[in-house]
Amino acid sequence: APPKPPAAKLPDHPAYQQIMAVFAAGDGPLRARGVCEAMDLEITPSNVNNVRLKLKRLVERRILTEAEQGLFTQPQP
């Protein structure tokens, strides 16, 4: 059997763990604003943009997927 690709590594920052906890507790795709709400962050453009950038980084690492523009979810096993 071919070797499995290494597990994607979560960036070493507490915000990423918080984001993953939101998806672990959630039941479906979320937008950056919804993630902010779940993390009890104030809904400001800068907070939403910062979370969106982190979500995009998690997509690049294949930890999350972007189901459609701006809608993030965990990949289905």
What does each of the 77 residues of the chain score in pLDDT, given as a tens digit? Answer: 655 555 678 888 899 999 999 999 988 999 999 999 999 999 999 999 999 999 999 999 999 999 999 999 998 77
Tokens for 9, please give them: 């590594």
Structure pTM? 0.85
**30 backbone dihedrals φ, ψ, rounded to 5°:** -135, 150
CB contact set of 17 (below 8 Å; sequence gap of 6+): 10
Number of C-beta neighbours around residue 23 at 10 A: 20
Give domain status of residue 3, yes or no.
no
Show the domain range for 51: 14-64
Give domain status of residue 8, yes or no.
no
* Region of 40 on the Ramachandran plot (φ > 0 left; ψ -120 to 50 alpha; else beta): left
Give domain status of residue 74, yes or no.
no
Rounded CA separation 33/52 (Å):
8
